[in-house]
Amino acid sequence: MLLLTIDWSFIIEKLILISVILGASLGVATYATWGERKVAAWMQDRKGPSRAGPFGLLQPIADGIKLFFKEEIIPTDANRFLFILGPSLAMLTACMASAVIPWGPSIELESGRIIALQVADINIGILYVFGVVSVGVYGIMLGGWASNNKYSLMGSVRAASQAISYELAMGISLIALLMMTGTLSLAEIVNQQHGFWENGWFTWNVAKQPLGFIIFLVCAFAELNRAPFDLPEAESELVAGYHTEYSSMKLGFYLFAEYVNLFISSAILITLFFGGYNFPFMDQVAGSVSPVVFSIICVLVLLTKTIMMILFFMFVRWTIPRFRYDQLMNLGWKSLIPLALVNMLITGAIIIWVLN
Amino acid sequence: MNLHQLVFWILSVIAIGGALGVILSRNPVASVLFLIVTFFAVSGHYILLNAQFLAIVNIIVYAGAIMVLFLYVIMLMNLNGDVEPQKSKLLQFAGIISGGILFLVLLAAFKTTQLSTTPINASTSIGLISELGQVLFTRFVFPFEISSILFLSAMVGAVVIGKKD
């Protein structure tokens, strides 16, 4: 009788939502690789990929096929199981964080059924993202260690210490934000940023927590292992760091997981600080179109904002040179953490003495 | 058997299997990985109890941070099951006997324990973060502050040790 007690329509609805979200994030990540090469080319006054299809649009697909057909090499002294587990974990954790992002407002059907455009509205939402991020380090660490290569080990050690150091500042900068929102649920945080302007101030959190946003953004760069913080894979020092020994699609998984992470963390940044799917004059729009169309508009707004965020990440990557390792640690421990603590104190003082 | 019980049994098997893996595997890296599996299973149990905050903190702090440091140390020390010196037979024998005796005592103690059959009257939201915060900052505020001072002193200690003269 176990099977009868399960609400099958609920499971099917969620399965469809998960497939769509996974498909979309993989699709966006695929074209983020193309976008990155185009952005790099544009900033360096080159043309970028232009041969495969119009504007080189088929380039990511060609790259994928190439990676699949390459010879797969596992070093003799590598730990086979962990060597394969590494990239798998990296990809798994990259995809997992998308579960708590609210992609749009709930749709109420005529039958009274409410379809939420969010896989799971858990009341620890943002902490779940932190949990996934902290587990994500294992993909890099295990891969680097299992390769049985000194450069790989150095890369994975760098990745782990960088991730742990910047997680602290990230967490503290987030506490200040959570003190203002009073909730951990991402759906609730987005609802509070409804519209654009209310009571003589912006509703979006970036205007309420500017310092917190900057700290969070810098930490996001570090957590993503992106330039200027791409020390774990610094090709000029570590010959590509933790994925030196990888070939074929396992290398592809590592590289691709990075772009999925880029997309997901941009979406989370938008959700936390730039109002998620909210946009100016959304109430007027909601009044004039049907709810389903309104939801689609909201999803498109979120995607547009996310892509702008991704472009910002790319511009920074091709503008700022890589940090030195001691500079990275000094920035994390001696600047960002004290700054985040001060931000938390100021926020607490404002909440107690000004807002009350 | 409902869904809740089914999940409980699956998680329990994973947790116990992982815990056995920690002590039975020769390779220290495998031990750490088994311990992480165990932490995940225990977090699953917390979620079954509707203690979501505890579950996620267990993953962030233990599985995500402390185990990374463990792995770090083990990887850098390059411990390997094959080259590690094994304990002598006598020591292993003594270990089995003393462990067995401890197990016997625990078994005897549990056998005679009267399990209270009255369920505790607690709301299901007791493990959620808002309730937990209320309790921590009102009823248990003194132990809470004391333990934070303990953490602070540990941090100061780490800085003192790490500082070059």
pLDDT tens, residue by residue, A283-318: 777 778 887 888 888 888 888 989 999 999 888 888
Residue B81 reports pLDDT greater than 60: no
Q: Looking at the structure, do residues B66 and B140 belong to the same domain, yes or no?
A: no
Q: Looking at the structure, do residues B19 and B76 belong to the same domain, yes or no?
A: yes
What's the rounded Cα separation, in Å, for the pair B68 and B75?
A: 10
What's the rounded Cα separation, in Å, for the pair B158 and A185?
A: 35
Domain membership of residue B45 (yes or no) is yes
Residues of A with CB below 8 A from B6's CB?
2
Residues of A with CB below 8 A from B59's CB?
131, 134-135
pLDDT at B146: 93
CB pairs under 8 A between A and B: 67
Min CA distance, B32 vs chain A (Å)? 11
Domain membership of residue B98 (yes or no) is no
Contact call for A123 and B64, based on CB within 8 A: no
pLDDT tens, residue by residue, A97-144: 888 888 888 777 777 777 777 777 777 888 888 888 888 888 888 888
Q: Is B2 an interface residue toward A (CB < 8 Å)?
A: yes
Q: Is B132 an interface residue toward A (CB < 8 Å)?
A: no
Contact call for B56 and A135, based on CB within 8 A: no
Q: Looking at the structure, do residues B140 and B73 belong to the same domain, yes or no?
A: no
Question: Final residue of a domain: which of B80, B110, B135?
Answer: B80
Residue A1 reports pLDDT greater than 80: no
Provide the domain count of chain B. 2
Model confidence at A187, pLDDT cuts 50, 70, 90, reads confident
Give the chain B residue nearest A157 (alpha carbons): B72
Domain membership of residue B112 (yes or no) is no
What's the rounded Cα separation, in Å, for the pair A187 and A235?
A: 40
Q: Strand, helix or coil at A114?
A: strand
Token pair 């003194």: residue: B142
Q: Looking at the structure, do residues B1 and B76 belong to the same domain, yes or no?
A: yes
Question: Final residue of a domain: which of B24, B48, B80?
Answer: B80
Torsion angles phi and psi, residue A197, rounded to 5: -135, 130
Domain membership of residue B96 (yes or no) is no
Residues of B with CB below 8 A from A122's CB?
52
Q: Looking at the structure, do residues B3 and B76 belong to the same domain, yes or no?
A: yes
Q: Looking at the structure, do residues B5 and B57 belong to the same domain, yes or no?
A: yes
CB-CB neighbours of B128 under 10 Å: 18
Give yes or no for a contact between A25 and A98, defined as CB atoms under 8 angstroms apart.
Answer: yes
Domain membership of residue B106 (yes or no) is no
Residues B52-75, mean pLDDT to the nearest whole number: 85
Q: Looking at the structure, do residues B128 and B76 belong to the same domain, yes or no?
A: no
pLDDT tens, residue by residue, A216-266: 999 888 888 877 877 766 666 666 777 777 878 888 888 888 888 889 889
Integer angstrom CA distances of residue B58 from A170, A241, B30: 18, 30, 20
pLDDT at B4: 81
pLDDT tens, residue by residue, A75-89: 777 778 888 888 888
Domain membership of residue B21 (yes or no) is yes
Q: Looking at the structure, do residues B1 and B75 belong to the same domain, yes or no?
A: yes
Give the chain B residue nearest A156 (alpha carbons): B72
Min CA distance, B26 vs chain A (Å)? 14
Question: Final residue of a domain: which of B54, B80, B106?
Answer: B80
Q: What is the CATH number of the domain that holds B34?
A: 1.20.120.1200
Domain membership of residue B92 (yes or no) is no
Contacts of A194 (CB under 8 A, 6+ apart): A203, A278, A282
Q: Looking at the structure, do residues B18 and B72 belong to the same domain, yes or no?
A: yes
Integer angstrom CA distances of residue A63 from A50, A152, A231, B100, B109: 13, 24, 25, 59, 64
pLDDT at B41: 93
Q: Looking at the structure, do residues B129 and B72 belong to the same domain, yes or no?
A: no
Q: Looking at the structure, do residues B75 and B1 belong to the same domain, yes or no?
A: yes
Q: Looking at the structure, do residues B137 and B62 belong to the same domain, yes or no?
A: no
pLDDT tens, residue by residue, A33-69: 888 888 888 888 888 788 877 887 888 888 888 888 8
Min CA distance, B121 vs chain A (Å)? 23
Element (DSSP H or E) covering residue A115:
strand A114-117
Torsion angles phi and psi, residue A250, rounded to 5: -70, -40
What's the rounded Cα separation, in Å, for the pair A289 and A280?
A: 16
The identity of residue A296, as a single letter, is I
Domain membership of residue B132 (yes or no) is yes
Q: Residue B129 is part of which domain span?
A: 124-165
Q: What percent of chain B has pLDDT over 70?
A: 87
Q: What is the pTM of this model?
A: 0.84
Q: What percent of chain A has pLDDT over 90?
A: 1
